[in-house]
Structure 1
């Protein structure tokens, strides 16, 4: 929502908050028999008990709605994080979740990786992304070779498929799991 719309919504909410508070105050004032500046006019409106209860009900509904609208106007809504690209034809936004899915899909194709979780974050300058990987690998593939191959493969994949710049890929090896194959005995 634009800044102008939020400002208008806030002014509207404050206005109706004051009007509904005045309605509730006038009802209480009329109920206690106090005479105010508009006593004659209000006397005609509040003479009928049904009208008084109706005015109270409407005032309470407007009060509740106004408080809700005021809260909504003051909330800072955040967009879902993503990477923006402007093309000749229009605007493209790729969510970070999509980039994480692409990363995991690419990593599963590399031999030696058992499980992987990926986390993609925008860099502070919003021109590139950083990728964090947490892996469980088999114990058979050299970890250094596996990590470098994974980093290069993911960097190339994200830059080609999504068109985003990858500034950093951090790899955390959480555990190793030995292969399920049993040793072959030759006698």
Structure 2
């Protein structure tokens, strides 16, 4: 949510800078007459509501600029998400990508599933793994799903030592068997 808000602020800030640049460029090119500019400045100094509006817009643009400056200089998290475990010998960090690859490896061993994708979520209860797959349509989908769940849970827990709380299997579609081409033999 914060990233979406920051992107929106960056968009609005960019528009404000482009607009201010265009106005400054037009003043520099003398597109506006000297009398027009003088009248506008006098109106700003005499009209309370216009000066309040200009100060308000300037403050908003200043705050957006400060936010963008903060985002550009803050120290971002350069490390990929990981699962941390403490042992008697020290810390172990396993990246989420590693767990994702392990779950894909286990699921790909099951005959009848293809085009696998995996998503990992770390919770207090353990790992929640979502496997998205296509099936061949030859085998029972509930049986294939249970087999994938069992294989992924066992493999990930055995290799990483991290408990797997949930393995969800989402069957996206059934793959079509590839047409076999036979060469005709003419004698």
Asked if the contact 1:116–1:133 (Cα under 8 Å) also holds between the matched residues in 2, the reply is yes
Q: What RMSD over aligned residues (CA atoms) do the two structures have, in Å?
A: 2.6
Within the candidate set 158, 173, 176, 1:175 is matched to: 173
Q: Which structure 2 residues correspond to residues 7-26 of structure 1 after superposition, within 5 A?
A: none
Residue 73 of structure 2 corresponds to residue 72 of structure 1 = yes
Gaps of 5+ in 1: 1-67, 183-187
Residue 77 of structure 2 aligns to a residue in which SS? coil
Q: Structure 1 CA distance, aligned partners of 2:156 and 2:110?
A: 15
Asked if the contact 1:110–1:150 (Cα under 8 Å) also holds between the matched residues in 2, the reply is yes
Q: Structure 2 CA distance, aligned partners of 1:161 and 1:149?
A: 18
Within the candidate set 152, 160, 166, 1:154 is matched to: 152
Residue 164 of structure 2 corresponds to residue 166 of structure 1 = yes
Q: Structure 2 CA distance, aligned partners of 1:69 and 1:173?
A: 43
Shift in Å, 1:69: 9.0
Q: Structure 2 CA distance, aligned partners of 1:71 and 1:180?
A: 51
Q: Structure 2 CA distance, aligned partners of 1:88 and 1:144?
A: 41
Residue 100 of structure 1 aligns to a residue in which SS? helix
Corresponding residue pairs, total: 114
Instruction: Give 1 or 2 for the bigger CA radius of gyration.
Output: 1
Shift in Å, 1:92: 0.5
Residue 164 of structure 1 aligns to a residue in which SS? coil
Q: Aligned residue for 1:104?
A: 104
Gaps of 5+ in 2: 1-68, 181-187
Shift in Å, 1:177: 1.3
Q: Aligned residue for 1:114?
A: 114
Q: Aligned residue for 1:32?
A: none
Q: Structure 1 CA distance, aligned partners of 2:71 and 2:129?
A: 39
Shift in Å, 1:179: 2.9
With the length of structure 2 as denominator, give the TM-score of the two structures.
0.54
Asked if the contact 1:140–1:179 (Cα under 8 Å) also holds between the matched residues in 2, the reply is no
Residue 80 of structure 1 aligns to a residue in which SS? coil
Q: Aligned residue for 2:183?
A: none
Q: Structure 2 CA distance, aligned partners of 1:160 and 1:77?
A: 29
* Offset from partner CA, 1:31-68 (integer Å, 9 cap, x none): xxxxxxxxxxxxxxxxxxxxxxxxxxxxxxxxxxxxx7
Shift in Å, 1:180: 3.1
In structure 2, relative to structure 1, the CA distance for the partners of 1:136 and 1:71 (3 Å cut) is closer
